[in-house]
Amino acid sequence: MQPPYPCPTATWHNDVYPAIDAAQPALSQAGRTVIVTGAGSGIGRETALAFAKVGAKHLVLIGRTESDLLETQNQIPQNTASSSVFATSVSDEAGIKKVAEAVGTWDVLVMGAASKGIKGPIVSVDLAQWWEAYETDVKSIVIMAQAFFPNANKAGAYVYGLTSGSLVLPVTWIAGQSAYQSAKTAQVKIMEFLALENPDIFICTVHPGMVDTKVFRAAEVDPATLPMDTAALPANFLVWLTQPKTKFLNGRMIWANWDVDELSAQAEKIQNSTIFTLGCEGWPFVPG
């Protein structure tokens, strides 16, 4: 379909298409240990299942609610990946360190846990509720990096942070969402720093699309009025990202809706620019 928003590719996708279909042998994740936070529902669950279908050796399912994680675990196809469940908050530093110690060496880390925080004018919202977005969407990224990065597969590991495409919009379009959108903006910049500081790890921030999840519903928007996407789109997109030829996207923020063939055709241009990184609109600072 034609892009409903400004887009670097002429083609826009709302669902899985052949180039990212995890069923193709070229996208095999055989032998890999894949960690997914927010794995108890929505995009996190779909992502875990997608990696299981393409040969992942072991899935590490992390989330707040054990019953939800067990439900995800029960949906993993038989004779595919083994799995382990850890019911803990991603903002619990001690809890995440214990998980990292139990997991050991890993290959793929998908950080999908999110919190919308509270909506409303900054001067009148409850500060503790407002700050919840930063605990889940910002602090947790640092906690996860400190706990897991030392055990990343030295031969090459992949890290993804799921973010909000709305952070690029004028604030007049997203009024009342200061907690969530500013936290997600901070997340993107932290991921850029992590990419710089860890050259042996592929690190990318991904807007998963507009998927009907609990977090999406918390924004109080009507899915019927928007070009919605399937949860399978970002799940398969993340599988596609997990291969050597995507290195040109390291340290970038990208959207799961973008056509990967058309995006790959721009690899040299993207790699030699600051495109898809966080900057100041109308004043791109490019070192001389």
Residue 55: CATH number of its domain:
3.40.50.720
The answer to whether position 131 is within a domain reads yes
Percent share of the chain, pLDDT over 70: 92
CA 87: distance to chain centroid? 19
The whole-chain average pLDDT of the chain stands at: 92
Q: Which of 184, 189, 214, 245 is catalytic?
A: 184
Confidence of residue 284 (pLDDT cuts 50, 70, 90): low
Instruction: Give the model's confidence band at 279: pLDDT under 50 very low, under 70 low, under 90 confident, else very high.
Output: confident
Using the predicted structure, report yes or no on whether residue 96 has a pLDDT greater than 60.
yes
Active site residue 134: no
Please tell me the least confidently modeled range out of 7-16, 82-91, 272-281. Answer: 272-281
Find the range with the poorest average confidence among 134-138, 179-183, 277-281: 277-281
Check if the beta carbon of residue 209 is closer than 8 Å to that of residue 257: yes
pLDDT value at position 221? 66
Q: Write down the catalytic residue from 134, 158, 160, 180.
A: 180
Where in the sequence is the domain holding 206, given as residue range(s)? 33-260+267-271
221 domain-assigned: yes
Angle among Cα 32, 38, 44 to the nearest 5 degrees reads 60
Rounded CA separation 204/254 (Å): 8
Residue 198 lies in a domain: yes
Q: Poorest-confidence range of 96-100, 209-213, 231-235?
A: 209-213
Q: Which of 37-46, 94-103, 279-288 has the lowest mean pLDDT?
A: 279-288
As for how many domains the chain has, the answer is 1
pLDDT band at 194 (very low <50, low <70, confident <90, very high): very high
Q: Is residue 213 part of a domain?
A: yes
Does residue 111 belong to any structural domain of this protein?
Answer: yes
Answer whether 234's CB lies under 8 Å from 213's CB.
no
- For the chain, list the strands marked E by DSSP: 33-37, 58-63, 82-87, 108-111, 157-162, 201-207, 253-255
Cβ count near 95 (within 10 Å): 17
pLDDT of residue 215 exceeding 80, the answer is no
Q: Which residues contact 67 (CB under 8 A, 6 or more apart)?
A: none
Is 214 a known active-site residue? no
**Domain assignment present for 188:** yes
Would you say residue 20 lies in a domain?
no
Higher pLDDT pick, 218 / 251: 251
- Categorize the per-residue pLDDT at 220 as very low, low, confident or very high, splitting at 50, 70 and 90: low
Question: Could you tell me the pLDDT band of residue 87, with boundaries at 50, 70 and 90?
Answer: very high
Please tell me the pTM assigned to this model: 0.93
Q: Once rounded to an integer, what is the mean pLDDT over residues 39-48?
A: 95
Longest dimension (CA), the chain: 55
Q: Is the pLDDT of residue 222 over 90?
A: no
> What pLDDT score does 283 carry?
66
- Residue 144 is assigned to a structural domain of this protein: yes
Per residue in 13-36, pLDDT tens?
999 999 999 989 999 999 999 999
